Amino acid sequence: MPGVHSKTVAGIYPIRGILHLIHHPRRLGGPIMVSSAKACVVSLLALVPLFHVGYRWQTRLIGHFYKEWVHQNGGASGSFVSSLVKLLGPGATAAVTSGLLCLAESFMVTSQVTTYFIGSLREQFFDVILQEHGIAIPDNKKTPAQLDAERKQRHEKHQQWLEQPIAESVEEWMVEKLDIKALPSTQQEMERAAKWWLSGSHIMGLCAKKEAQEWPLNWLPSFIYVVSLPFTFVPVVGPISFLGLQGICQGGSAHRRYFDLFQWSNQRRINHINRMYWQYQQFGTVAGALEMIPFIGFLFAYTNQMGAAMMVIDMKKEKVM
């Protein structure tokens, strides 16, 4: 179980980011409004058909599912979810579930559009907040010679993989990219490896790594999103679980900018994430919920970065970072 070594209530930092923008609208609002306007126009083209067509179709499908559920369970209360469906009725429960599912689907659309239109602008706001509080931003720009050396190293490594047998190449790739110490050979080893690899702290650590924005790790949040999307079919408990899973990835990436700026090693990042797991889980869950709001989720993509920077400042004051 990850340890807790801070009094920080991390869930308030996304809200603090919003308040910071409200208090500095002229200085911070201009760049945000321009990029958000572009992103909103593109999102409208995708989200309006999604809600217009998808909501009705999903409501009918989910309503049929809930009616069958109630019919099979008869009058028995069974679980909390079954009792809730019977209390509200299959139709009302289906409408609510379909609405939540559309919100989750819209988050997928807006997150992709946000990445395209906003890009590094969020990182700039993160840096601004750090500088406001006296934290100097190191100049880590690489020289052309360093970039050429890195490209040469990647090319040589790629050539080595091509020369190896396919099985060895795949194993080496999985061990390096997916943070697997060694491929399991027995059923017990597979069970232990799966339990460890699928744990929240390990996934959060992967999202904080240097390579988190490179393939295949850059697909990890989207994969978790798609896999956990069916949870939204389950009333109350399902959406909460879905948000919690999104919070793992959001929490892991919250301070990746800081880690990159100050050149933390992957092991140091993972150790820090493990110590502060619940703080990052809180932050990620609230931040993810805000970014899920259609049309204005772009705005919160900025303010979440501001809140993450404020969280860094307070953690440094508490000497836990």
Predicted pLDDT of residue 256: 94
Q: Does some domain include residue 147? A: no
Structural domain tally of the chain?
Answer: 1
Q: Does some domain include residue 79? A: yes
Q: Does some domain include residue 219? A: yes
Quick one: 162 exposed, middle or buried, by C-beta within 10 A (0-12, 13-18, 19+)? exposed
6/153: higher pLDDT: 153
pTM summary value? 0.71
DSSP string, 142-193: PPHHHHHHHHHHHHHHHHHHHHS-HHHHHHHHHHHHS--SS---SHHHHHHH
Q: Is the peptide bond before 221 cis (omega within 30 degrees of 0)?
A: no
- Using 50, 70 and 90 to split pLDDT, how confident is the model at 185? low
Q: Does some domain include residue 164? A: no
The answer on pLDDT for 73 being more than 80 is no
Dmax (CA) for the chain in angstroms is 74
245/212: higher pLDDT: 245
Q: Does some domain include residue 149? A: no
Q: Does some domain include residue 222? A: yes
Q: What are phi and psi of 13, to 5 degrees?
A: -70, -35
Radius of gyration of the chain (CA): 22
Average pLDDT score, the chain: 77
The parent domain of residue 294 ranges over 10-141+187-317
Q: Does some domain include residue 178? A: no
What pLDDT, in 10s, does the model give residues 109-124? 666 666 665 556 788 8
Q: Does some domain include residue 54? A: yes
Predicted pLDDT of residue 137: 86
What pLDDT, in 10s, does the model give residues 225-281? 878 877 877 777 788 888 899 999 999 999 999 999 999 999 999 999 999 999 999
CB distance 239 to 315 below 8 Å: no
